Structure 1
Amino acid sequence: MAHGEHKYRVSVEWTGNEGSGTSGYRAYSRNHIIRADGKPEIPGSSDAAFLGDAARWNPEDLLLASASACHKLWYLHLCAEAGIVVVAYVDDAEGTMLDSPQNGRFTEIVLRPRVVIRAGGNRELAVQLHHAAHKKCYVANSVNFPIRCEPKVEVGLG
């Protein structure tokens, strides 16, 4: 694994000028396109509660997805190192955001990964590795609110 400083670059282009720019709060679309070299574009907007397009990804969705994906990637890494064979992984994550005129913010994220490991695998260790993954997760280490993990690990057949 590469250690040291890593830089990431994205471009976010607002595509919501509907003719009069931001002349009024309801005069423009919140739509934008998120781009990074060599990757598919992501259609973005704000949450529908903030006049956004509900069919597009909003920053809150992306933050939640980032926390979930980061945990999953570390978890799979640690399982591979420990000899635990994961055959399925689905996380139904949920984030809670407090909307306040002074200081809107996330108050918590709860990850709910459901994991299936190969028969004969060490279920207890597989559960413990979620705690280790949480400690290593770059996203969890970067936010100022709690990220909890409530894993369920099943041992598969054969």
Structure 2
Amino acid sequence: MSAHTFTTSVAWAGSTATGYDDYSREHELTMASASVLASSDAAFLGDARLPNPEQLLVAAASSCQMLSFLAVAARARLDIVDYRDEAVGEMPEGERPMWVTRIVLRPQITLGNPAPRAKVERLVEIAHRECFIAQSVRSEIVLEPVLVGVTD
């Protein structure tokens, strides 16, 4: 059985000789042909204007949930016309070592044609179980969907 592989590269140049407070946190992430300038979180002396690894983790969980849901909805012949998510990752400072303990996904899903709420909620859960990212991380991933165009 073959395995899927996903490659990325990271590049940083500078000097840490001046100590923790003074080196640049900016680095370049490359995935396929897309390149993103990133940094550490501002709390760790990074540039708040740039994405950080924790945001990228939350974005990956959100994107994967959406793609998984659209796939299961399409297989179930549901007409999804809009999907938006405002996801939040939580990383408590009291945890040592620190880690993203919880990711809350709040997708707002709009249907083009009415469907039973229970059916759509079941498909949201199936998508969660099928999401590769959700199955790959130890963080709790909580789903709080808002469904528009469902019937009760």
**TM-score scaled by structure 2?**
0.91
Q: Report SS of the residue matched to 1:41.
A: strand
Task: Find the partner of 2:111 among 114, 117, 122.
Answer: 117
Any gaps of 5 or more consecutive residues in structure 1? none
Q: Which amino acid aligns with 1:84?
A: L
Percent sequence identity is: 38
Q: Report SS of the residue matched to 1:67.
A: helix
Give 1:139's aligned residue: 133
1:35 equivalenced with 2:33 (yes/no)? no
For residue 4 of structure 1, report the CA deviation from its aligned partner: 4.4
Q: Which amino acid aligns with 1:111?
A: L
Q: Once the two structures are superposed, what CA deviation does each residue of 1:8-47 show, in whole Å capped at 9, x if it has no partner?
A: 11110114x2xxx101112211000111332x21110000
Contact residue 104 and residue 143 of structure 2 kept, 8 A: yes
Runs of 4+ in 1 over 4 A off after TM superposition: none
The verdict on how the C-alpha distance between 1:117 and 1:67 changes in structure 2, with shifts beyond 3 A counting, is same
Give 1:130's aligned residue: 124
1:26 equivalenced with 2:21 (yes/no)? yes
Give 2:77's aligned residue: 83
CA distance in 1, matches of 2:95, 2:12: 23
Q: Which amino acid aligns with 2:4?
A: H
**TM-score scaled by structure 1?**
0.88
CA distance in 1, matches of 2:26, 2:127: 34
For residue 124 of structure 1, report the CA deviation from its aligned partner: 2.7
Q: Report SS of the residue matched to 2:132.
A: coil
Contact residue 84 and residue 122 of structure 1 kept, 8 A: no
CA distance in 1, matches of 2:146, 2:65: 14
Contact residue 123 and residue 154 of structure 1 kept, 8 A: no
For residue 115 of structure 1, report the CA deviation from its aligned partner: 0.5
The verdict on how the C-alpha distance between 1:101 and 1:125 changes in structure 2, with shifts beyond 3 A counting, is closer
Contact residue 71 and residue 137 of structure 1 kept, 8 A: yes
Contact residue 78 and residue 113 of structure 2 kept, 8 A: no
